[in-house]
Amino acid sequence: MSRVCEICGKGPASGNVIVRKGSPKYKGGIGLHTTGITKRRFLPNLQTVRATDGKGNTKRVTVCTRCLKNGKVTKA
């Protein structure tokens, strides 16, 4: 299954997991030190729903919850 919304095209985004060690300076420490950076993925919240297209046909579509909430999809 593709991880892309069929309505708006929202897909996975990339980012980093940053691991820090130490105590912040404003709490009296010597500052935070980065000890590791790892790539990660932010996946969209996709749902498979039965929806009707403009002609009255019913088919399964994969849409994000934002499109469902905003009413961009008419459920069958």
Q: What is the pLDDT of residue 54?
A: 81
68 sits in which H/E element: helix 65-69
Q: What is the pTM of this model?
A: 0.76
Q: Which two tokens stand for residue 63?
A: 């849409």
Q: What is the pLDDT of residue 46?
A: 97
- Rounded CA separation 54/62 (Å): 17
Tens-place pLDDT, residues 28-56: 999 999 999 999 999 999 999 999 988 88
Q: Do the Cβ atoms of 51 and 61 come closer than 8 Å?
A: yes
Q: Of 4, 19, 7, 25, whose CA–CA distance to 73 is shortest?
A: 7
